[in-house]
């Protein structure tokens, strides 16, 4: 065995067959096992396919348990094939092993070592050039082994196919994809756009210390997009050309070996005892041109033919070289070696070698040679090993992939094989070889499909009928094979003529590459299939290809294009009476219409799809239609119906084993429960979805589940947990390179920070989300990020900027036909205008939102618009109208089962009743809101209800209760980290203490609230607390300080455009000036308040200004003017129906007396 190992230039243990272990002497078997443990560690586990021949037998002899691990139930395969994979270690794992018998190159290696050692933390780029066969790749492999330990994050090796016959030079997009895959980025996460993919590569590589080899480059332009902008990476580039366009690269040129190096390599390969005839050695080396590739070919033959005299071989080889005149000069020596090696092959080996020159992919496997050479699998494996022995193939180190070892040809070897095939094979044989390969690939793809999509009906005998030669242990192995084999599979599709088999292969591959996220490939495959099916007149195949194109366009957000393809598919399917495809096309149209916000049309499509699927007993289509209907009903607020659809989809998905739909249905159920306020149930569903996604390795589903969990936690006030969920989602999305979900996670973090009052951080997250959404052209997400920015700006009082963001969101939503987003943007604009006191404009926006929401059947939007209109009418003193709008909202949310919305509607009704003096009714509404909020765990709303109850009790003189409610609200806000809520609750406590004459305590609470509001930029709260402090200081006679506080409040309110705050400050200043006898100034302030209230349509503010003007007139003994002002105020108060009318009436009576 050791003698054979020397011949095969390997180690003896790699030639041992596992099945021979029991017959080996105990000492040799022990030595083998020890070597295996040293090479692979104690955890060596060889793959055990599902199907095989012999069963493992009990070990004999000493019964070493390692023998049990090595005996497998498959046809005999040598350990040499099984132990090619490197032991688990550093990430990356893309570097091949050391070049066998690497010799010489001391000077360039020393030069490279000096450069690497001397340079600092900059990207080190070295361009290695030289003629074909000179050993550039071997040099790079040796350098990778020499310097690899300096780069603990591993290595990446990419063949750019710059000079590979039959292969197009690899484009930047494909090379970037391979490198991202080797970094661990899932294929479905890799960006389609080249610029995005390049940015993704540089972001992922930047923090790492890695060694990157770009082998076989054609031009500088091919390499430039692939260079990392990472300070700790080493890049080696090999090319036949000098890459002068790489200005930052250090050039290293390799020439042929020196005479001493060439002789050293030859002796090492052949053995010193065969090389005593130095003259013959010199002649062979001269004929080889001292090229390492040629030397290896001749030396490899000599190792196996020990009886040949070296002098005779030298003469024959020299004659062979002299006879060549058709090859370019630099390749003559290599060609001579090829001719020599080729003539030494058997007829069968020559034919296999020739036909491999026509193989349309970069790597060769047992499946490939069995199909191309049309030989049985076992014979194909042996042929591969024999060609390796002749140095015509090189075995690659690829672990964990079904189908056996993988091989590659040197570019010059492939060129020679291609030339021999063109010269010696019949013209029709090339197409026949590709067709045989496509047939094998199609059978294997169907076998993979059976495991990856067990829920899809199919012919159980299909794989057997097509002659499948590869079985997978499980779905994970099938997925790995499809991913690794992808370049070969795509090459096969491109090489095929317009046949049904080629179109079928394109279709089945597109299904899986779509699931893996290779969207550019999916477009190509469906487009190729569509062309072929149309050429063949296969109308059903045309339908399937159109549907596939629609699906991928929908995934990338091209909704108009998606609608076009799905509509074409639907029309043709109906014409052909192709009912299952009709179901799928209806579902595709339903999803498209849902995404653009046309819910009625979406419901119609899904309903048609569901009826048809059930009629056909098409269970897969039924599950998808049910989930689609659940999505639509959830969005329009029909939560009970949505829950029913999702539950049916979940049950059916579990029955079918359709696990991704199971995870999606669980997430849908969680969303429904979240919307109706069943947060515990929602959390449970999302947790199940998260666990299932992680079990499946469905990382996109994991991101979505984390995001939804974050939404639940922020709704119940668990802001720390919500932040953690969104942070995990963000980290995973970035790992996946999924910039759309990265933007969503950033938006979720923005919402959390907004809720706890961290407005600068919230603004930053929303801004990042906006930038990402624009980069990936996700315009819906762009609209949502704009809305978030608008909310932050209105909270900090930047109403002009808030308005601008909401207008941008509205314009964008209308451009997209995104009508859901249009409703929300209109609501945002209404809120801004309400806050700045432009009540007429606010009413207009809310009304427009209400009409559109009702038109769409978008119930959640209808509720938002009703609440907004109720707020506007309350602020302008139209309390009956306000009550009516809020009552409509309450009725609607109760019908929908939206308990979250119910809490808010009850609180809003409490606000109306409190303002009109219906304190008992207000208390009832606030109490109901508090009880429900506590039941739901909706803690932010709980604090809000506590503040409302505190205000009611203060107005009715129950100051102890009022103090208790506000104190609870403060405690809860602090527990939640809700800083805006804390400011408002502290202000409430200040108002209570002021009402009972505890002015020092009142000042303390208001001062604390003011400091906190200023700390986190809560300018709305700052205005209110300044007004509260001014009120306290006036009451204790500190009129100068009171004037200062009210003046600050007025200036800030005007700066913000906060009209309600401006009214409060003007009234406060009027009261201060009246208190100090500055009646002219007091009249001026009250008059300004009156004018502003009248302009805003705020009847209550108008009445309060008239009441203040009356007091000024009364103080200066102008009883007639006072009576006039108070009578006008009384009329308004009576129209509003507020109890304060009695106070005004009493004042008028006093004047009359």
Q: What is 550-583 written as a DSSP string? A: HHHHHHTT-HHHHHHHHHHHHHHHHHHT-HHHHH
Q: Are residues 366 and 332 in the same domain?
A: no
Query: 95 or 798, which is more confident?
Result: 798
Closest CA to 751 of 732, 769, 772: 769
3-state secondary structure 893-918: HHHHCCHHHHHHHHHHHHHHHHHCCC
Within 8 A by CB and 6+ apart from 597, the residues are 817, 818, 819, 820, 821, 822, 856
Confidence (pLDDT) at 95: 65
Q: Which long-range CB contacts under 8 A does 168-176 form with residues at least 24 apart?
A: 169/218, 169/222, 170/222, 172/198, 172/222, 172/225, 172/226, 173/197, 173/520, 174/487, 175/214, 175/226, 176/200, 176/201, 176/225, 176/226
Contact 646, 668 (CB under 8 A): yes
* Per-residue pLDDT band at 279 (split at 50, 70, 90): confident
Confidence (pLDDT) at 230: 79
Q: Are residues 60 and 197 in the same domain?
A: no
Q: Is residue 314 part of a domain?
A: yes
Domain count, the chain: 4
Distance CA 855, CA 974 (A): 42
Q: pTM for the whole thing?
A: 0.63
* Per-residue pLDDT band at 206 (split at 50, 70, 90): confident
Q: Is residue 933 part of a domain?
A: no
Confidence (pLDDT) at 668: 95
- The residue assigned the tokens 């429900």 is 932
Within 8 A by CB and 6+ apart from 644, the residues are none
Q: Is residue 1034 part of a domain?
A: no
Q: Domain ends where: 427, 454, 482?
A: 427
* Per-residue pLDDT band at 179 (split at 50, 70, 90): confident
Q: Are residues 248 and 318 in the same domain?
A: no
Q: What average pLDDT does the segment 539-568 reach? A: 90
pLDDT of residue 316 exceeding 80, the answer is no
Phi, psi for residue 408 in degrees, rounded to 5? -140, 155
* Per-residue pLDDT band at 392 (split at 50, 70, 90): confident
Distance CA 733, CA 703 (A): 7
Contact 748, 719 (CB under 8 A): no
Q: Of 591-600, 846-855, 1083-1092, which gets the smallest average pLDDT?
A: 591-600
* Per-residue pLDDT band at 3 (split at 50, 70, 90): very low
- The residue assigned the tokens 């349309």 is 360
User: Burial, 2: exposed, middle or buried (Cβ in 10 Å; 0-12, 13-18, 19+)?
Assistant: exposed
* Per-residue pLDDT band at 314 (split at 50, 70, 90): low
Confidence (pLDDT) at 86: 31
Q: Is residue 572 part of a domain?
A: no
Query: 729 or 37, which is more confident?
Result: 729
Q: What average pLDDT does the segment 1037-1045 reach? A: 96
Confidence (pLDDT) at 326: 37
Query: 232 or 867, which is more confident?
Result: 867
Q: What average pLDDT does the segment 995-999 reach? A: 94
Q: What average pLDDT does the segment 336-347 reach? A: 79
Q: Is residue 140 part of a domain?
A: yes
Residue 111's Cα: distance from chain center in Å?
43
Distance CA 1093, CA 1097 (A): 6
Distance CA 1110, CA 1122 (A): 4
Q: Domain ends where: 227, 253, 279?
A: 253
Q: Are residues 148 and 274 in the same domain?
A: no
Closest CA to 624 of 608, 600, 639, 638: 608
Q: Are residues 114 and 220 in the same domain?
A: yes
Distance CA 844, CA 827 (A): 10
Q: Which run of H or of E encompasses 252? A: strand 250-253
Q: Is residue 769 part of a domain?
A: no
Within 8 A by CB and 6+ apart from 630, the residues are 642, 643, 645, 646, 649, 665, 668, 672
pLDDT of residue 18 exceeding 50, the answer is no
- The residue assigned the tokens 């059978």 is 443
Closest CA to 1029 of 1041, 1014, 1013, 1037: 1041
- Ramachandran category for residue 238: left, alpha or beta (phi over 0 → left; psi -120 to 50 → alpha): beta
pLDDT of residue 412 exceeding 60, the answer is yes
Within 8 A by CB and 6+ apart from 405, the residues are 81, 84, 365, 366, 384, 395, 396, 398
Q: How many CB atoms lie within 10 A of CB 615?
A: 11
Task: Name the average pLDDT for the chain.
Answer: 82
Distance CA 639, CA 187 (A): 35
CATH of the domain at 234: 3.40.50.300
Q: Are residues 145 and 219 in the same domain?
A: yes
* Per-residue pLDDT band at 1107 (split at 50, 70, 90): very high
pLDDT of residue 488 exceeding 90, the answer is yes
pLDDT of residue 69 exceeding 50, the answer is no
Distance CA 664, CA 701 (A): 8
Confidence (pLDDT) at 747: 95
Distance CA 862, CA 290 (A): 83
Q: What average pLDDT does the segment 409-435 reach? A: 88
Phi, psi for residue 127 in degrees, rounded to 5? -105, 115
* Per-residue pLDDT band at 365 (split at 50, 70, 90): very high
Query: 846 or 57, which is more confident?
Result: 846
Q: Domain ends where: 284, 317, 343?
A: 343
Supply angle C-alpha 244, 247, 252, rounded to 5.
Answer: 60
Confidence (pLDDT) at 281: 75
Q: Are residues 225 and 264 in the same domain?
A: no
Confidence (pLDDT) at 301: 64
pLDDT single digits (tens) 296-311: 777 766 665 555 556 6
pLDDT of residue 122 exceeding 90, the answer is no
Confidence (pLDDT) at 458: 56
CATH of the domain at 413: 1.10.10.10
Confidence (pLDDT) at 87: 29
Confidence (pLDDT) at 83: 25
pLDDT of residue 66 exceeding 60, the answer is no
Residue 330's Cα: distance from chain center in Å?
49
Q: Is residue 677 part of a domain?
A: no
Q: Are residues 308 and 209 in the same domain?
A: no
Within 8 A by CB and 6+ apart from 73, the residues are 48, 49, 52, 53, 54, 55, 56
Q: What average pLDDT does the segment 1050-1070 reach? A: 89
Confidence (pLDDT) at 5: 42
Which sign, positive or negative, has the C-alpha torsion 574, 576, 582, 585?
negative
Q: Is residue 368 part of a domain?
A: yes
Confidence (pLDDT) at 579: 96
Percent of the chain past pLDDT 90, that is, above it, reads 43
Confidence (pLDDT) at 643: 94
pLDDT single digits (tens) 623-677: 999 999 999 998 877 888 999 999 999 999 999 888 888 999 999 999 998 887 7
Q: Are residues 111 and 37 in the same domain?
A: no
Confidence (pLDDT) at 504: 93
Distance CA 1148, CA 1126 (A): 7
Distance CA 385, CA 710 (A): 55
Confidence (pLDDT) at 319: 55
pLDDT of residue 17 exceeding 80, the answer is no
Within 8 A by CB and 6+ apart from 662, the residues are 650, 653, 654, 692
Confidence (pLDDT) at 64: 35
pLDDT single digits (tens) 142-161: 888 888 888 888 888 888 88
Q: Are residues 235 and 354 in the same domain?
A: no
Q: Are residues 171 and 183 in the same domain?
A: yes
Confidence (pLDDT) at 556: 66
* Per-residue pLDDT band at 768 (split at 50, 70, 90): very high
Confidence (pLDDT) at 188: 56
Range(s) of the domain holding residue 419 = 347-427
Distance CA 111, CA 117 (A): 10
Distance CA 241, CA 128 (A): 9
Q: Of 215-219, 542-546, 609-613, 786-790, which gets the smallest average pLDDT?
A: 215-219
Q: Are residues 113 and 198 in the same domain?
A: yes
Query: 900 or 72, which is more confident?
Result: 900
Query: 1011 or 855, which is more confident?
Result: 1011
Q: Of 78-82, 885-889, 1046-1050, 1105-1109, which gets the smallest average pLDDT?
A: 78-82
pLDDT single digits (tens) 345-357: 899 999 999 999 9
Q: Are strands 155-159 and 250-253 parallel, antiparallel or unpaired?
A: unpaired
Distance CA 693, CA 700 (A): 8
């Amino acid at each position: 065995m050791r003698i054979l190992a020397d011949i095969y230039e390997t180690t003896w243990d790699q030639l041992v067959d596992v099945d021979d272990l029991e017959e080996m002497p105990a000492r040799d078997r022990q030595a083998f096992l020890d070597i295996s443990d040293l090479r692979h560690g104690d955890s060596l586990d060889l793959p055990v396919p599902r199907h095989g021949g012999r069963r493992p037998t009990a070990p004999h002899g000493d019964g070493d348990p390692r023998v049990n691990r090595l005996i497998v139930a498959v046809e005999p395969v040598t350990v040499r094939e099984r132990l090619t994979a490197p032991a688990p270690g550093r990430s990356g794992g893309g570097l091949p092993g050391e070049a066998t018998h690497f010799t010489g190159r001391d000077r360039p290696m020393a030069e490279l070592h000096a450069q690497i050692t001397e340079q600092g933390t900059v990207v080190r780029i070295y361009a290695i050039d030289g003629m074909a066969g000179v050993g550039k790749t071997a040099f790079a492999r040796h350098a990778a082994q020499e310097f690899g330990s300096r780069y603990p994050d591993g290595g990446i090796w990419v063949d750019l196919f710059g000079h590979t016959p039959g292969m197009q030079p690899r484009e930047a997009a494909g090379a970037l994809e391979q490198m991202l895959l080797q970094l661990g980025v899932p294929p479905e996460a890799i960006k389609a756009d080249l610029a995005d993919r390049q940015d993704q590569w540089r972001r992922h590589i930047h923090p790492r210390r890695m060694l990157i080899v770009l082998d076989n480059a054609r031009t500088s332009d091919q390499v430039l997009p692939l260079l990392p902008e990472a300070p700790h990476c080493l890049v080696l580039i090999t090319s036949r050309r000098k890459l002068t366009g790489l200005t930052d690269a250090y050039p290293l040129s390799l020439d042929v070996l020196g005479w001493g190096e060439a002789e050293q390599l030859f002796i090492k390969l052949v053995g010193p005892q065969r090389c005593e005839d130095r003259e013959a050695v010199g002649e062979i080396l001269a004929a080889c041109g001292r090229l390492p590739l040629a030397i290896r070919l001749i030396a490899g033959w000599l190792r196996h033919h020990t009886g040949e005299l070296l002098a005779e071989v030298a003469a024959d080889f020299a004659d062979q070289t002299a006879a060549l005149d058709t090859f370019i000069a630099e390749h003559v020596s290599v060609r001579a070696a090829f001719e020599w090696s080729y003539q030494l092959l058997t007829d069968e080996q020559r034919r296999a070698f020739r036909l491999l020159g026509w193989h349309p992919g970069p790597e060769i496997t047992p499946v490939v040679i069995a199909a191309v050479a049309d030989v049985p699998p076992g014979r194909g494996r042996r042929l591969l090993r024999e060609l390796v022995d002749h140095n015509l193939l090189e075995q690659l180190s690829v672990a964990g992939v079904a189908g056996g070892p993988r091989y590659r040809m040197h570019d010059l070897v492939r060129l020679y094989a291609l030339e021999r095939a063109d010269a010696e094979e019949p013209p029709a044989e090339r197409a026949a070889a590709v067709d045989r390969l496509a047939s094998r690939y199609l059978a294997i793809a169907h076998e993979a499909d059976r495991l990856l999509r067990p829920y899809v009906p199919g012919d159980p005998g299909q794989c057997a009928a097509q002659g499948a030669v590869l079985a997978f242990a499980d779905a994970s192995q099938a997925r790995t094979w499809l991913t690794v084999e992808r370049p070969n599979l795509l090459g096969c599709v491109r090489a095929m003529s317009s046949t049904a088999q080629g179109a079928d292969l394109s279709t089945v591959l597109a299904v899986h590459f779509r699931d893996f996220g290779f969207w550019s490939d999916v477009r190509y495959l469906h487009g190729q299939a569509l062309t072929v099916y149309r050429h063949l007149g296969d109308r059903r195949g045309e339908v399937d290809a159109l549907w596939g194109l629609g699906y991928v366009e929908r995934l990338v957000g091209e909704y108009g294009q998606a609608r076009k393809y799905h509509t074409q598919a639907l029309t043709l399917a109906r014409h052909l009476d192709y009912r299952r495809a009709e179901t799928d096309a209806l579902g595709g149209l339903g999803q498209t219409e849902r995404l653009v916000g046309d819910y009625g049309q979406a419901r119609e499509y899904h309903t048609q799809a569901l009826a048809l699927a059930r009629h056909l007993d098409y269970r897969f289509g039924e599950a998808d239609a049910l989930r689609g209907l659940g999505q639509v009903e959830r969005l329009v607020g029909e939560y009970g119906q949505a829950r029913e659809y999702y539950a049916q989809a979940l049950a059916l998905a579990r029955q079918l084993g359709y696990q991704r739909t199971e995870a999606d249905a669980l997430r849908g159920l969680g969303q429904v429960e979240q919307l109706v306020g069943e947060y515990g149930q929602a959390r449970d569903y999302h947790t199940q979805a998260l666990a299932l996604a992680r079990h499946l390795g469905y990382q996109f589903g994991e991101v979505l589940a984390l995001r939804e969990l974050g939404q639940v936690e922020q709704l119940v006030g668990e802001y720390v947990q919500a932040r953690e969920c969104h942070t995990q989602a963000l980290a995973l999305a970035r790992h996946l390179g999924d910039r759309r979900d990265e933007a969503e996670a950033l938006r979720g973090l923005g919402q959390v920070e907004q809720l706890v009052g961290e407005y600068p951080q919230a603004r930053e997250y929303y801004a990042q989300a906006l930038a990402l959404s624009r980069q990936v052209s996700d315009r819906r997400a762009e609209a949502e990020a704009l809305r978030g920015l608008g909310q932050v700006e209105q909270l900090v009082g930047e109403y002009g900027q808030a308005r601008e963001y909401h207008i941008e969101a509205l314009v964008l939503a209308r451009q997209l036909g995104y009508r859901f987003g249009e409703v929300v943007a209109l609501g945002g604009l209404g809120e801004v205008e309400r806050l700045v006191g432009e009540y007429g404009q606010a009413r207009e926006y809310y009304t427009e939102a209400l009409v559109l929401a009702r038109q769409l059947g978008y119930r959640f939007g209808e509720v938002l618009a009703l609440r907004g209109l109720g707020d506007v009418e309350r602020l302008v003193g139209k309390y009956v109208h306000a009550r009516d709008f809020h009552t409509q909202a309450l009725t609607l949310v109760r019908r929908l089962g939206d308990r979250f919305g119910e809490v808010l509607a009850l609180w809003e009704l409490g606000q109306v009743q409190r303002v009109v003096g219906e304190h008992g009714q207000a208390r009832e509404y606030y109490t109901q809101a508090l009880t429900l909020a506590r039941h739901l765990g909706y803690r932010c709303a709980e604090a809000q209800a506590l503040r409302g109850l505190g205000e009611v009790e203060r107005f009715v003189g129950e100051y102890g209760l009022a103090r208790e409610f506000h104190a609870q609200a403060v405690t809860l806000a602090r527990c939640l980290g809700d800083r805006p809520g804390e400011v408002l609750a502290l202000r409430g406590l200040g108002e209570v203490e002021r009402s009972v004459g505890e002015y020092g305590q009142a000042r303390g609470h208001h001062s604390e609230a003011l400091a906190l509001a200023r700390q986190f930029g809560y300018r709305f709260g700052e205005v209110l607390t300044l007004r509260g402090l001014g009120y306290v200081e006036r009451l204790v006679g500190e009129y100068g300080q009171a004037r200062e506080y009210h003046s600050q409040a007025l200036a800030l309110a005007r700066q913000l455009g906060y009209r309600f705050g401006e009214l409060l400050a003007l009234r406060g200043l009027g009261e201060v000036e009246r208190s100090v006898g500055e009646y002219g100034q007091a009249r001026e302030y009250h008059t300004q308040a009156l004018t502003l209230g009248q302009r805003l349509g705020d009847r209550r503010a108008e009445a309060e200004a008239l009441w203040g003007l009356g007091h000024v007139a009364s103080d200066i003994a102008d009883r007639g003017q006072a009576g006039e002002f108070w009578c006008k105020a009384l009329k308004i108060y009576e129209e509003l129906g507020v109890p304060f009318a009695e106070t005004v009436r009493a004042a008028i009576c006093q004047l009359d007396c």
